[in-house]
Amino acid sequence: MIACGIDFGTSNSVCSITDGDKVSLVPLENNKNIIPSSIFFFKDGAVAFGRAAMEAYVEGDEGRLMRGLKSILGTSLMLERTVIYGKSVDFSEILKIYFNHLKVQIEKFANQSVDTVVLGRPVHFHDNDINADNLSQETLKKIAADVGFKNISFQYEPVAAAYAHEVRSKKEKIAIVADFGGGTSDFTVIRLAGQNQQDVINKDAVLSTEGVRTGGNNFDKLLSMRSFMPSLGYGSSYRDMFDPVKILPIPNNAYVDLSDWPRVSLAQTSKVILQTKKLIPYAREPQKLKNLLSIQEGGLGYLFLQTVEDTKISLSSFDKVSKIFNEGGLSLDFQIIREDFEQSLEYEMTKIYNAIINCLQKASVSNKDVDTVLLTGGSSQLPVIQRMISNIFPQAELSNLDKFSSVGLGLGFIAKSNFDLEF
């Protein structure tokens, strides 16, 4: 029998399979084990996934790109419908299409049908909302069942990452896993026994788990709102069309949606475009509103947000980054300073810090007891994250796991050992 693990991430997805003996990562796109969690619906009804989806959008093919769908689990957006192929489709159906694609790739690699899966999940899909949290998992479980999985279990993503590390561990140690994903940041304090004593993590080894709903996509959003959206009119004002003396702020809805991966398309609807057109004659900075209109009418929102994400990544290596957005006849120059970006993250960093401290307290472990910090997830490389971790655990070894595939690999080892932590 073949079992599999699926790490369905906000930004990327990774899958693994096991035959009870070895664990292997599944090539999901052009022999690559990591696939962006993206779908492109062509106007003619065809569908592309991952990098191919992003390429279709960048090349200007007619259709609809969707990305960051995991973050809408448990939200009111899941109850709404959107237009695909000229038809009204609910978001569960879109997620099902993506999950079915993952299952097809798994079975192609396994050369047989696979109906047993361990799904990764964040410690909390939503902060302080147990109903939304439960709904998110139940929705994901139903989607997995609808595409043909029969035996479905879940495991916390940071526990899965620890599992991937455990098979390489040589000695007993107390570790904390810090998994910085696209939509959530998750932590677990765990006792690693090392290969000489055991090659699997037992339930009692997991001392605590904690998580918070913030991650790479939130960082993109904050960077976008602080440093990019002002060039499109965010923070500017307009004269009231009925009372020219009265000055009002430009509505924020389009800027907020343009800065949020799963909501970008909502800023490019005919209704929102009409709102922008009506504001331009009364705007105190009309050229900025014209820039916004160019983004909206050209369907350039995802490209613009991709520029934001690329800038964020570059800021991990440079104190200052220059970016030019040159698409659809629109040319905008940006000079972004890392310090400004990090200042915009202060509230999110406080949430992350508190989650780490809570995780330690729940485990009855002090920061000085931690021997190793296992870092994973794309945002783990941000200097502001690295500094926070070093300040909390100055004496601990920092071990950077494969920042994108460790959770997916760990889920495969969990499937191999038939380990299932009850929530």
Query: For residue 204, what pLDDT is reported?
Result: 72
Residue 334 sits at φ, ψ, to 5 deg, of: -130, 140
65 found inside a domain: yes
Among the candidates 326, 344, 362, a domain finishes at 344
pLDDT at 225 over 90: yes
Say if residue 18 is in the same domain as residue 86.
yes
Say if residue 287 is in the same domain as residue 254.
yes
Among the candidates 329, 344, 359, a domain finishes at 344
147 found inside a domain: yes
326 found inside a domain: yes
CA distance 389 to 394: 8
Query: Once rounded to an integer, what is the mean pLDDT over residues 21-29?
Result: 93
Across 166-175, 366-375, 396-405, least confident range: 166-175
Query: Once rounded to an integer, what is the mean pLDDT over residues 42-59?
Result: 91
Question: Between residues 379 and 255, which one has the greater pLDDT?
Answer: 255
97 found inside a domain: yes
Query: Once rounded to an integer, what is the mean pLDDT over residues 171-177?
Result: 86
Query: For residue 195, what pLDDT is reported?
Result: 55
pTM: 0.86
Query: For residue 194, what pLDDT is reported?
Result: 62
163 found inside a domain: no
Residue 260's identity, in one-letter code, is D
Query: For residue 401, what pLDDT is reported?
Result: 67
Confidence of residue 420 (pLDDT cuts 50, 70, 90): very low
262 and 256 in contact (C-beta within 8 Å)?
Answer: no
Say if residue 109 is in the same domain as residue 232.
no
Across 1-5, 137-141, 171-175, 198-202, least confident range: 198-202
166 found inside a domain: no
Confidence of residue 418 (pLDDT cuts 50, 70, 90): low
Question: Between residues 418 and 128, which one has the greater pLDDT?
Answer: 128
pLDDT at 406 over 70: yes
232 and 295 in contact (C-beta within 8 Å)?
Answer: yes
Confidence of residue 46 (pLDDT cuts 50, 70, 90): very high
| Per-chain mean pLDDT for the chain | 90
CATH number of the domain where residue 186 is located: 3.30.420.40
Say if residue 42 is in the same domain as residue 189.
no
Say if residue 357 is in the same domain as residue 413.
no
pLDDT at 198 over 50: no
Say if residue 245 is in the same domain as residue 139.
no
User: Per mean pLDDT, which of 25-29, 87-91, 413-417 is the most reliable?
Assistant: 25-29
38 and 66 in contact (C-beta within 8 Å)?
Answer: yes
Q: Are strands 330-337 and 372-376 parallel, antiparallel or unpaired?
A: unpaired
367 found inside a domain: yes
189 found inside a domain: yes
Neighbouring C-alpha atoms within 13 Å toward the C-beta of 78: 19
Percent of the chain scoring above 90 in pLDDT: 68
Query: For residue 64, what pLDDT is reported?
Result: 87
Query: For residue 201, what pLDDT is reported?
Result: 58
**What is the extent of the structural domain holding 42?**
3-157+409-417
The model's pLDDT over 251-275, given as tens digits with 9 standing for 90+, comes to 999 999 999 988 898 899 999 999 9
Query: For residue 170, what pLDDT is reported?
Result: 61
Say if residue 334 is in the same domain as residue 372.
no
pLDDT at 197 over 50: no
Say if residue 268 is in the same domain as residue 413.
no
Say if residue 67 is in the same domain as residue 128.
yes
Query: Once rounded to an integer, what is the mean pLDDT over residues 145-156?
Result: 95
pLDDT at 114 over 80: yes
Total number of domains in the chain:
3
Say if residue 152 is in the same domain as residue 195.
no
CA-wise closest residue to 294 among 261, 267, 271: 267
Across 17-31, 213-227, 330-344, 397-411, least confident range: 397-411
Contacts of residue 159, defined as CB under 8 A and 6 or more positions apart, other chains included, come to 177, 188, 190, 201, 206, 209, 410, 414, 421
CA distance 205 to 200: 10
Contacts of residue 173, defined as CB under 8 A and 6 or more positions apart, other chains included, come to 191, 192, 194, 371, 372
Query: Once rounded to an integer, what is the mean pLDDT over residues 99-116?
Result: 96
Burial pattern 364-396, b for ≥16 Cβ within 10 A else e, equals ebebeebbbbbbbbbbbebebbeebbeebbeeb
pLDDT at 202 over 70: no
Among the candidates 327, 344, 361, a domain finishes at 344
Confidence of residue 244 (pLDDT cuts 50, 70, 90): confident
Say if residue 144 is in the same domain as residue 79.
yes
178 and 189 in contact (C-beta within 8 Å)?
Answer: no
Query: Once rounded to an integer, what is the mean pLDDT over residues 149-157?
Result: 94
Say if residue 19 is in the same domain as residue 81.
yes
